[in-house]
């Protein structure tokens, strides 16, 4: 992988002009309470360019007036006493040997070393929020480097696709295990524990985000993460969860009947969401635009809600007036990669972006009929979302999460 990180750094430095310096801090340890730390997770942009996963690191890239590029890594020093408590560090020799840095320094040397590197530079590239006040010789030309990195991150390499495919495969099997294990009387957090345990056993050392395990009306809260309610008979359970494999995320949602059998109303809403999703996925192909996925799914969802009598009126007018938002209040999906809501713009110069091979996104329609909704009682408390991870390929798409069961008959048969 070091060749790949080097290629990414080289590609970034091809973009910036001569006499430029790039400054990019890594992530720091965060404390949960007292001296108990959260598990460390490297900043995604920093990891994308270095593969380096220790806290308090700092990346500097320089391009001199002759366009010669240098890669400098600042990191924690070897410290035998500290390493007894918190583990072995790469150190400066390791930064050069194992991470291909041209030069490596301890973190405490950042300010004086960078101060010297700034001499003769005409442009500084760094995150917009980064405080440059430590140096008095900062060039007048300051540019936010993150949009440049994020544009690079949008198209995944074969190595990245392999990681995403593995994250999706592990997560899909975990969803299937929850489908078979779910029973009325369980608590939501028990399903969360099963999902987490399986993903970790299979190599996902973390989850990509806090799982949503939402039974009954909880599914109508989009980011419900309490996961504390006892699951009742004849309820649906919406499970939105994904593992993170080598920092690459999966993001899958399935909605299942707690007792293994949909009620007629649940089945009608579920099938409507599934039909919308399948048609939306069909729109994911090179040259098509991002908004086409949403427009396609809206037609299916609003038309279906009208047919079921949940909404009244002309479909096109309801879409134009956004009347559907009481039941479907989010968009079709998002980019996926090192972040679950990954880097990359959705529009260029206010025009919807066209899909290109190597892009990875989610497609996730939903219908949420709150228990207080002004509809017939039989529809209330039904929340359904179905989400898959989609790779744009040269001739169409690949559903990375295809192993996660989602057809009605397959769900009901698997739950027996």
Catalytic position from the list 35, 119, 131, 349: 35
Phi, psi for residue 275 in degrees, rounded to 5: -60, -45
35 is catalytic: yes
Catalytic residue among 41, 78, 123, 341: 341
Catalytic one among 54, 387, 388, 389? 387
Strand order of the β-sheet with 360-363 is: 360-363, 388-392, 397-399
Tokens matching residue 314: 């002309």
Q: Among this protein's residues, is 123 annotated catalytic?
A: no
Task: Give CA–CA dist 209/340, Å, rounded.
Answer: 7
Is 321 assigned a catalytic role? Answer: no
Q: Is 248 exposed, middle or buried (0-12, 13-18, 19+ CB in 10 A)?
A: buried
Asked if 251 is an active-site residue, the reply is yes
Exactly one of 32, 223, 325, 395 is catalytic; name it.
223
Can 223 be counted among the known catalytic residues? yes
Report the sign of the C-alpha dihedral through residues 270, 272, 273, 275, in that order.
positive
Would you give the distance in Å from CA 371 to the centre of its chain? 30
d(C-alpha 248, C-alpha 174), whole Å: 17
DSSP string over 95-164 = HHHTT--SEEEEGGGHHHHHHHHHTT--EEEE-TT---TT-S---SEEEE-HHHHHHHHHS--HHHHHHH
Given 48, 368, 388, 389, which residue is catalytic?
Answer: 368
| Active-site choice (160, 244, 339, 364) | 364
From the CB of residue 328, how many other CB atoms can be counted at a distance below 10 Å? 20
Catalytic residue, chosen from 165, 175, 385, 388, is: 385
Choosing from 160, 235, 244, 251, the catalytic residue is 251
Active-site residue, from 240, 339, 342, 389: 240
Q: Please count the other Cβ atoms lying within 10 Å of the Cβ belonging to residue 103.
A: 16
Handedness of CA 302, 305, 307, 309 (dihedral sign): negative
Among candidate residues 54, 334, 339, 389, the one labeled active-site is 334
Task: Mark whether 341 is an active-site residue.
Answer: yes
Annotated catalytic, 325? no
Instruction: Determine whether 334 is an active site residue.
Output: yes
Choice among 78, 123, 330, 402 that is catalytic: 330
Residue 395 annotated to the active site:
no
Residues with a catalytic annotation lie at 35, 223, 240, 251, 330, 334, 341, 364, 368, 385, 387
């Amino acid at each position: 992988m070091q060749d790949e990180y080097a290629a990414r750094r080289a590609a970034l430095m091809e973009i910036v002009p001569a006499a430029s310096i790039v400054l990019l801090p890594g992530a720091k340890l965060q404390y949960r309470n007292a001296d108990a730390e959260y598990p460390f997770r490297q900043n995604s942009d920093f990891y994308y360019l270095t593969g380096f996963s220790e806290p308090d690191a700092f990346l500097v890239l320089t391009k001199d007036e002759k366009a010669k590029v240098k890669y400098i890594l600042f990191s924690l020093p070897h410290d035998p006493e500290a390493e007894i408590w918190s583990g072995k560090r790469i150190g400066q020799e390791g930064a050069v040997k194992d991470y291909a840095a041209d030069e490596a320094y301890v973190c405490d040397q950042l300010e004086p070393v960078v101060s010297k590197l700034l001499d003769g530079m005409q442009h500084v590239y760094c995150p917009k929020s980064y405080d440059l006040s430590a140096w008095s010789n900062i060039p007048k030309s300051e540019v936010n480097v993150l949009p440049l990195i994020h544009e690079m991150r949008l198209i995944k390499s074969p190595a990245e696709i392999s990681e995403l495919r593995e994250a999706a495969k592990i997560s899909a099997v975990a969803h299937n295990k929850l489908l078979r294990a779910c029973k009325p009387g369980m608590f939501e957090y028990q399903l969360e524990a099963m999902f987490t345990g399986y993903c970790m056993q299979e190599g996902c050392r973390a989850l990509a985000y806090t799982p949503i395990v939402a039974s009954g009306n909880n599914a109508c809260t989009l980011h419900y993460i309490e996961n504390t309610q006892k699951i009742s008979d004849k309820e649906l359970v919406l499970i939105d969860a994904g593992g993170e494999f080598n920092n690459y995320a999966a993001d899958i949602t399935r909605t299942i009947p707690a007792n293994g059998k949909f009620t007629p109303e649940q089945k009608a809403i579920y099938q409507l969401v599934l039909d919308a999703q399948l048609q939306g996925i069909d729109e994911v192909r090179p040259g098509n635009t991002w908004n086409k996925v949403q427009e396609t799914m809206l037609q299916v969802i609003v038309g279906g809600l009208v047919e079921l009598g949940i909404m009244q009126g002309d479909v096109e007018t309801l879409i134009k007036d956004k009347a559907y938002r009481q039941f479907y209040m989010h968009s079709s999906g998002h980019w996926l990669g090192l972040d679950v809501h990954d880097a990359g713009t959705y529009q260029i110069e206010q025009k919807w972006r066209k899909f290109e091979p190597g892009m990875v996104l989610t497609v996730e329609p939903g219908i949420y009929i709150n228990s207080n909704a002004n509809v017939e009682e039989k529809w209330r408390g039904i929340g359904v979302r179905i989400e898959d991870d989609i790779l744009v390929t040269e001739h169409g798409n690949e559903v990375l999460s295809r192993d996660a069961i989602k057809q009605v008959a397959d769900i009901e048969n698997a739950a027996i």
